[in-house]
Structure 1
Amino acid sequence: MEVIGKTLPAREKSWAVSARTDQGLLAQIAHVIDGPFHIIHPQSFSENLKAFQDAMQVQNVHGHVYYGKKANKAGTWLREIAGCGGSVDVASIPEFVHSLANGIRGERIEVTGAAKSNELLWLAAQHKALVAIDALDELERAIDIAKQTAPLKILLRVIPPKAPNSRFGLSEADMVAALQKCVEAHQHIIMDGFSFHLDGYAVAPRAELASTLIGRCLEARALGLPCSAISIGGGFACSYVDEEDWREFQANVKPADFHAKKSFTHFYPYHQAPTGAEMLSAILNWSSDGDTLALKLNAAGISLYLEPGRALLDGAGMSVFPVQGFKRNAEHGIITVSGLSMSLSEQWKNSEFLPTPILLQRGGARPQETVKAAVGGSSCMEYDVLSWRKIEFPATPRYGDLLIYPNTAGYQMDKNESEFHQLPLPPKIVLTEQGGAFVWRVDQ
């Protein structure tokens, strides 16, 4: 029997509900793994990717949806991308090589991140990847490497006007110099366009800056540069809980709701609108003068690139932690699970992963009397806590129960993982369906 807590129940896709209510499935996996594990669902990822691609196609906007690989390291996503005509955004040599090894062609790879090494720039040139240039000295190194290898396709990253203190991107003076260097090195550098990344999840700032950059693309073309693309980065919103639940939580939350009266500087906005591909559609339909961004892009012959990570993983995974013990502490209990809070990464940003975990009771009948409890990891650190919030569970957790955290594929699973205490990292279990039944394997 399982009951979702009364506060902030998570939105779940049908596959996730079926998997956790499938008699014996999670118990079988838990028996084999003998520790915490993550479930990932490639079909949900493919559906999310197709929704983004369709949002562009319906507006006749050409471009690429680059999966922000840093959001989850599983190789399974890359295989899905290879089969869906998608692309990948990487920021390191291992990410680049991993993508190639899983069927992503070099021309479908974009390299972002600050101050890329010469080795990474060389790899990008050899495989005809796209590189977002972040600084003048990086551009100079890229030109030198391209002269020795092959022409290198680049974007010039812009510092957002509303974030002048960002450490990423080229200042206005450096941008002028960079464009001149691209003109001088046009035989070796293909200046494909501009890129930016904005914090937050608002539609208008992304659309406004993209619209402004259309004019800069036309100016760059006047210098003889091809300049036919704009990348609007990532930051596509997701909703983990329903709006009413989120509003009620925000209105009533207080330190006493958390173990040790823990307070937080911020929470991820667990309900938002629009989200995912709908947010992309809103960006493309944005207008300040009668013409939508989509129409402006098409009129200028400019492609749109984007780099969603979390949004492509929305609803595509869950994390499972075996219960190792339970004790009462003053007015609430403490559950200790097998595993560490590093495998639920929100806790390491002075925040909290708020969607309510689900208790899967095992081991026979027990009194169904509700109990409030926080959830701690199995390390010796006071701050190793998966849920500081005192969550109401339907019964007292027991050794061998499973605690399921829903919708964790985006950033939660492995951003801050650690083998502290020499504990192995939780494996990712790939869940697919064959003949109406679930089958599983370990992601490689």
Structure 2
Amino acid sequence: MALTLPAHPDPLDEELAATGLLHDLAHAFGGPFHYVLPERFDANLAAFRTALDEAAVEGRVYFAKKANKAAAFVERAARAGAGVDVASHGELREALAHGVRGEDLVVTGPAKSTRLLGAAALHGALIAVDAPDELDRVLALDTPRPVRVLLRRFPPAQPKSRFGMDDRQLEDALARCAQAGERVRMEGFSFHLSGYAVQPRTDLAADLVALCLRARVLGLQADRISIGGGFAVDYAPADAWQTFLDTQGPDDYHARKSFAASDFYPYHSPVAGADALRAVLAARPHGTGAPLAQRLREAGVMLLLEPGRALLDGAGSSVFTVQGVKDRADYGIVTVDGTSLSLSEQWFASEYLPDPTLHSTAPQPAAGPYRACVGGASCLDSDLLSWRKIAFPRRPRSGDLLVYPNTAGYQMDSNESPFHDLPLPAKVVLHREGGRLRWRFDHRPAC
């Protein structure tokens, strides 16, 4: 029996198949490409803002730019007055170039370069200070305005984390910020927490609210906290995901590769996106007392969040052209014109599991499931976009398209590389105009 994991249905898929637009684009580019859907980004952003409004919590949503390099998403964030989370000088430059104001940036990441710190300070960005020596460099900056900072707390529930300062380091950092006077504006605290569980995020957020109250005694502003991202995306129905986990094994993968369930992203999440934010706000920190939303309101603390993947849910897919098909004894090997570097999950000892769809230039009758893994165009044995033997409705043919759904969140470009001198897949923006779908290149300024 073929192992499948169908993604949630998307009505755009059928429309694109009917128009033939994807085949036209594949012909024009002569290689794989990604398409992005900025209107879906807009809807996801609006959903997060609605969740904050429903809880009567003052908040700010920052798009975590690392999740996708497309300029279109940063432009939409700027147009909507949202913030952008950047972690490098290049990301900061790109955000500014696409209309994001400096004061709408938050700068995260570990051990930021002095160049990045200086540029962020000059533009009035908010800097999440990760370590005492980073605070040393912030305090040494010569800037015409106070440097805006958050102090990042080490997460006690994740003792292996490499991010943040422990209690002793935070106490020292607070004292130094108070002594710095007008050179620094200490606006609050942040944390970096792995995983998607609701309660740990609520617990740590409440701890930061308490830290804000303590910091105010020292005369510091301390009126906001950042809880980062960690809002899951629900890719597939619950029953399909559970069946997949219960039945998958080495026989379902090329070369009998094995995966533990813990290796996979949770492709079904009962509480995802803006609903996950609602759950965080409604939960009682450490299981007792008032919900987090009430504590934020009573303390006058603004909530900052930095979703990436969750703002990109449904906002794009990746398209590859079939170059050839090789038959093995009981399954096939489909080779496409790109590499697994353009589907990033495969390079984290895991697998991107939502089923790709097969598109033909002409309708073809289904001939029963044809199981095949999907290999890339490189000469590496490990270059597989899908180790799993996908159940295609028929044997794919050269010239067919494989569309991997919902790849805008991290999958498209985290690890892309022009290996073999293959071009990086183009990014195109799809939008509706005059009742029809139109496309344009995603524009990025030259470096």
Q: Which residue of 1 aligns with 2:254?
A: 259
**After the TM superposition, which segments of 4 or more aligned residues of structure 1 sit over 6 Å from their partners?**
none
Q: Which residue of 1 aligns with 2:132?
A: 136
The answer on whether the counterparts of 2:122 and 2:143 sit within 8 Å (CA) in structure 1 is: no
The answer on whether the counterparts of 1:122 and 1:149 sit within 8 Å (CA) in structure 2 is: no
1:219 maps onto 2:214 in alignment: yes
Letter in 1 for 2:343: L
Q: After superposition, where does 1:82-97 map in structure 2 within 5 Å?
A: 82-97=78-93
Q: What are the ranges of 5 or more consecutive residues in structure 1 without an aligned counterpart?
A: none
Letter in 1 for 2:360: Q
For residue 230 of structure 1, the aligned residue among 225, 234, 237 is 225
Give per-residue Cα distances to partners, 1:86-122, cap 9 Å, x unaligned.
Answer: 1100000110010001010000000000111111111
Q: Which residue of 2 aligns with 1:286?
A: 283
1:274 maps onto 2:271 in alignment: yes
Specify the SS of the correspondent of 1:186: helix
Report percent identity of matched pairs: 51
The answer on whether the counterparts of 2:317 and 2:405 sit within 8 Å (CA) in structure 1 is: yes
The answer on whether the counterparts of 1:12 and 1:315 sit within 8 Å (CA) in structure 2 is: no
Q: Which residue of 1 aligns with 2:376?
A: 377
Q: Which residue of 1 aligns with 2:167?
A: 172
1:348 maps onto 2:351 in alignment: no
Give per-residue Cα distances to partners, 1:236-262, cap 9 Å, x unaligned.
Answer: 011111000000111111111000000
For residue 198 of structure 1, the aligned residue among 170, 178, 193 is 193
Q: Quick one: structure 1 residues 367 and 110, their matched pair in 2 at CA, closer, same or farther if it must change by over 3 Å?
A: closer
What number of residue pairs does the alignment pair up? 438
Q: 1:17, 1:349 → 2: CA distance?
A: 31
Residue 278 of structure 1 deviates from its aligned partner by: 0.5
Specify the SS of the correspondent of 1:239: coil
Instruction: Give the superposed CA RMSD.
Output: 1.3
Q: Which residue of 1 aligns with 2:318?
A: 319
Larger mean CA deviation between 183-192 and 283-292 belongs to: 283-292
Residue 364 of structure 1 deviates from its aligned partner by: 6.7
Q: After superposition, where does 1:13-28 map in structure 2 within 5 Å?
A: 13-19=10-16, 21-28=17-24
| TM-score calculated relative to the size of structure 1 | 0.96
For residue 54 of structure 1, the aligned residue among 47, 50, 53 is 50
Residue 366 of structure 1 deviates from its aligned partner by: 6.4
Specify the SS of the correspondent of 2:265: coil
Give per-residue Cα distances to partners, 1:387-435, cap 9 Å, x unaligned.
Answer: 0101111111111000010000000000000100000000111000012
Q: 2:139, 2:14 → 1: CA distance?
A: 52
Letter in 2 for 1:420: F
Specify the SS of the correspondent of 2:297: helix
Q: After superposition, where does 1:94-113 map in structure 2 within 5 Å?
A: 94-113=90-109
Give per-residue Cα distances to partners, 1:243-297, cap 9 Å, x unaligned.
Answer: 0000011111111100000012411110012100000011111123342211110
The answer on whether the counterparts of 1:237 and 1:273 sit within 8 Å (CA) in structure 2 is: no
| TM-score calculated relative to the size of structure 2 | 0.96
Residue 359 of structure 1 deviates from its aligned partner by: 0.5
The answer on whether the counterparts of 1:12 and 1:407 sit within 8 Å (CA) in structure 2 is: no
Q: 2:42, 2:368 → 1: CA distance?
A: 41
Q: Which residue of 2 aligns with 1:63?
A: 59
Q: What are the ranges of 5 or more consecutive residues in structure 2 without an aligned counterpart?
A: none
Q: Quick one: structure 1 residues 50 and 364, their matched pair in 2 at CA, closer, same or farther if it must change by over 3 Å?
A: closer
